[in-house]
Structure 1
Amino acid sequence: MIIVRPIQQSDLKALHRIAIESGHGFTSLPVNEKLLKQRINHAEESFNKAVTQAGKEGYLFVMEDSKTGEVVGTSGIEAAVGLDDAFYHYHLGKVVHSSRELNIYNTVETLSLCNDYTGASEICTLFLSDSHRKDNNGRFLSRFRFLFIAEHKARFSETIIAEMRGVSDEQGRSPFWQWLEEHFFSMDFPTADYLTGIGKKVFIAELMPKYPIYVNLLSKGAQAVIDKVHPQTVPALRLLEAEGFARRGYVDIFDAGPTVESHVNSIKTVNESRRCQVIIGAVQSTDNYIICNSKVTNFRATQTALSLRETAKQVVITQKVADALLVKEGDWVRLVAN
């Protein structure tokens, strides 16, 4: 059985392996054992903390194959970004240059550095090993987070965002960053990306151009990748768009990948999820659901067939599933059709 649970100290080796597998552009998982350990510590503190409003908490989960005990993926939620370190984006805007006398009217796109998403909750750090990219595991690893948010809304902001990985090659070279590097930074993309991942963001404020950048002054290669996603990220973007996430003109300052957002109550999984009481027994249905318990520290989620009794707000699950979810008969769970 595939389950999702909060990360713990014993997962450090697996998280380090995932950080290596994820490659360039995966800023939230730097290949640095000390920082990964700090990330785990922060997650454990967050899961154990009594919370009444979104703050500096960071929730990191792992996907585990219960047959082997192997950790095969990870997924996270930041409760409120930008409260400690500035959270930067470029916003795509327009400037009009016109002269009625000369009958000239030109519209020019601009990129303006901003911190507009400060305080928003961010879904992040999604990675699944190749061996388990099947059986809807990728969808499950993304969507369960919305069940967690729906069950514990007080812990999160009303605005939920996701930064999508932008275009870069196998060596981690970003066409967008190459232009910035040439004119402002003298630092390659993997290095800048790594420094951001380990929390050293001061250089952004020190070196990033403060005034709007005219897009038509960028190289053709840089212009071509603005608001575009890495080929491997296309399925994740489509899934989020199906959930109701949309682009609002914000892009990453390093690779120009898009940021998508949604109000928490507009997310499809949040709206369609329901709370039910557990009945343990034989399951007649083959309908597949994502289901989680109502806990925080001992949170568990899985995908499974179950029998739903909608009128009575009850759900029938097997003893095996109940054990995996750490629930007993009469406990409340949250679920959504997969």
Structure 2
Amino acid sequence: MMVIRPVARSDRNAITELATKTGVGFTSLQDDESQLNDRIERMLRTWDQQAPLSEQGYLFVLEDSDSGKVVGICGIEAAIGLSEPWYNYRVGTLVHASKELDVYTQMPTLFLSNDHTGYSELCTLFLDPQYRHGKNGHLLSKSRLLFIATFQERFADKLIAEMRGVSDEHGHSPFWENLGRHFFAIDFAHADYLTGVGQKSFIAELMPKHPLYVDFLSDEARAVIAQVHPNTIPARKILESEGMRYEGYVDIFDAGPTLEAYVNDLRVVRKSQTRTVEITSAEPTGEIHCLIGNESFAGYRAITGTPEITESHILLTREQAQALHVTSGDTVRLAPLFAQENLS
């Protein structure tokens, strides 16, 4: 059974191994042991309720309970940009007009922005390639939304997710080569690494503050604005199916799109319900694929299944109950795993 649970110190080696598989452009999971250790400790302080809002974050792992192997990771930042500026580009328009000359032109532009300061962020979604099948990707991504639905008071009203932009296997980013490299004599891979270890604001502060005309970029660079890395297409589709949308903001380094939504508009949040647990020895007879999570903050667990559901109860097998760390009489929160399904 595949189970979502909070990260533990004992997961360091497994997460380090996952980090070696991400490739250039996966900013939030760098192959850097010191940075990873610091981040895990910050997450643990959050669950111990000892971290200020500016430092609060949540990191979950996907564990194969049969083997005990950690095969995926995902995260949430509670409030971005409170300890250091949060930068991205807002894609906008400047108008140049002259009534006397009968000239009117609209120029697409990039404006350096801090508009998402204070928002919550979905981040660090990575699934081992060997486990990219079945419902594993949906569980890994959407479990964060169920956690937010359960503990909504701990998050901002609006949520964003920065999508990985276009770069090749050699770390070549068309957007960076045409824009960022003019201000920094470093490769995109190095800029990506510095961002991942917490130096994004330092780099961003050296970027030009005035609007940049998109038409001055190369055709190759313009073509990748708001486009995602091929490996990120499934993750983008999942988030869009939950109600997140591109609203005109892109990453300052690779121009990957930022998806956003109000938390209350997210499908999992809107459709989630609570039920009382009843443990059964019978095989599951439900027809709806459900995302199921307990209501324990520090001991959070989430799984998928097709349980029988009544108006007041959910019937879980003993194995499912053990995976969720619940017993008969406990309450769980559940939501349809897929958009086309409904609980009632």
TM tier relative to shorter chain: over 0.9
Q: Kindly indicate whether the alpha-carbon contact (under 8 Å) linking 1:6 and 1:60 is maintained by their aligned counterparts in 2.
A: yes
Aligned with 1:143: secondary structure? helix
Corresponding residue of 1:290: 291
Query: How far apart are the structure 2 equivalents of 1:254 and 1:40?
Result: 25
Corresponding residue of 1:212: 211
**Which residue identity is paired with 1:234?**
I
Query: How far apart are the structure 2 equivalents of 1:102 and 1:256?
Result: 35
Corresponding residue of 1:11: 11
Aligned with 1:116: secondary structure? coil
Give deviations 1:177-219, integer Å, cap 9, x for gaps: 0012442111111101100111123532442011110100112
Corresponding residue of 2:342: none
Aligned with 2:190: secondary structure? helix
Corresponding residue of 2:335: 336
Query: How far apart are the structure 2 equivalents of 1:202 and 1:72?
Result: 31
Matches of residues 302-321 of structure 1 in structure 2 within 5 Å? Answer: 302-310=303-311, 313-321=312-320
Q: Kindly indicate whether the alpha-carbon contact (under 8 Å) linking 2:122 and 2:161 is maintained by their aligned counterparts in 1.
A: yes
Query: How far apart are the structure 2 equivalents of 1:181 and 1:113?
Result: 13
Corresponding residue of 2:341: none
Q: Kindly indicate whether the alpha-carbon contact (under 8 Å) linking 1:54 and 1:154 is maintained by their aligned counterparts in 2.
A: no
Corresponding residue of 1:123: 122
Query: How far apart are the structure 2 equivalents of 1:97 and 1:172?
Result: 37
Aligned with 1:123: secondary structure? strand
Aligned with 1:302: secondary structure? strand
Query: How far apart are the structure 2 equivalents of 1:54 and 1:206?
Result: 24
Corresponding residue of 1:240: 239
Corresponding residue of 2:74: 75
Give deviations 1:98-156, integer Å, cap 9, x for gaps: 11111111100110111110100001100000111111110111111111000001110
Residue segments in structure 2 that go unaligned for 5+ positions in a row: 338-344
Corresponding residue of 2:224: 225
Query: How far apart are the structure 2 equivalents of 1:267 and 1:172?
Result: 34
Aligned with 2:320: secondary structure? helix
Moved more, 192-201 or 178-187: 178-187
Moved more, 120-129 or 239-248: 239-248
Q: State the shift of 1:317 in Å.
A: 0.5
Corresponding residue of 2:89: 90
**Which residue identity is paired with 1:44?**
L
Q: Kindly indicate whether the alpha-carbon contact (under 8 Å) linking 2:87 and 2:204 is maintained by their aligned counterparts in 1.
A: no
Corresponding residue of 2:278: 279
Give deviations 1:10-45, integer Å, cap 9, x for gaps: 100011111110111111111110110111111111
Corresponding residue of 1:175: 174
Aligned with 1:177: secondary structure? helix
Q: Kindly indicate whether the alpha-carbon contact (under 8 Å) linking 1:85 and 1:201 is maintained by their aligned counterparts in 2.
A: no
**Which residue identity is paired with 2:328?**
E
Q: Does 1:249 align with 2:224?
A: no
Q: State the shift of 1:275 in Å.
A: 0.7
TM normalised by structure 1 equals 0.96
Corresponding residue of 1:59: 58
Matches of residues 158-169 of structure 1 in structure 2 within 5 Å? Answer: 158-169=157-168
**Which residue identity is paired with 1:308?**
I
**Which residue identity is paired with 1:292?**
G
Query: How far apart are the structure 1 equivalents of 2:14 and 2:206?
Result: 35
Aligned with 2:111: secondary structure? strand
Query: How far apart are the structure 2 equivalents of 1:201 and 1:161?
Result: 17
TM normalised by structure 2 equals 0.95
Q: State the shift of 1:286 in Å.
A: 4.5
The percent of aligned pairs where both chains have the same amino acid is 48
Aligned with 2:226: secondary structure? coil
Corresponding residue of 1:270: 269
Query: How far apart are the structure 2 equivalents of 1:182 and 1:285?
Result: 55
Query: How far apart are the structure 2 equivalents of 1:75 and 1:320?
Result: 24
Q: State the shift of 1:337 in Å.
A: 1.6
Q: State the shift of 1:277 in Å.
A: 0.7
Q: Kindly indicate whether the alpha-carbon contact (under 8 Å) linking 1:128 and 1:138 is maintained by their aligned counterparts in 2.
A: yes
Q: Kindly indicate whether the alpha-carbon contact (under 8 Å) linking 2:181 and 2:187 is maintained by their aligned counterparts in 1.
A: no
Query: How far apart are the structure 1 equivalents of 2:250 and 2:39?
Result: 25
Residue segments in structure 1 that go unaligned for 5+ positions in a row: none
Q: Kindly indicate whether the alpha-carbon contact (under 8 Å) linking 2:249 and 2:257 is maintained by their aligned counterparts in 1.
A: yes
Query: How far apart are the structure 2 equivalents of 1:145 and 1:55?
Result: 19
Q: Kindly indicate whether the alpha-carbon contact (under 8 Å) linking 2:175 and 2:253 is maintained by their aligned counterparts in 1.
A: yes
Q: Kindly indicate whether the alpha-carbon contact (under 8 Å) linking 2:25 and 2:189 is maintained by their aligned counterparts in 1.
A: yes
Q: Kindly indicate whether the alpha-carbon contact (under 8 Å) linking 1:306 and 1:317 is maintained by their aligned counterparts in 2.
A: yes
Query: How far apart are the structure 2 equivalents of 1:286 and 1:320?
Result: 19
Query: How far apart are the structure 1 equivalents of 2:7 and 2:268?
Result: 23
Q: State the shift of 1:55 in Å.
A: 4.3
Q: Kindly indicate whether the alpha-carbon contact (under 8 Å) linking 1:54 and 1:157 is maintained by their aligned counterparts in 2.
A: no
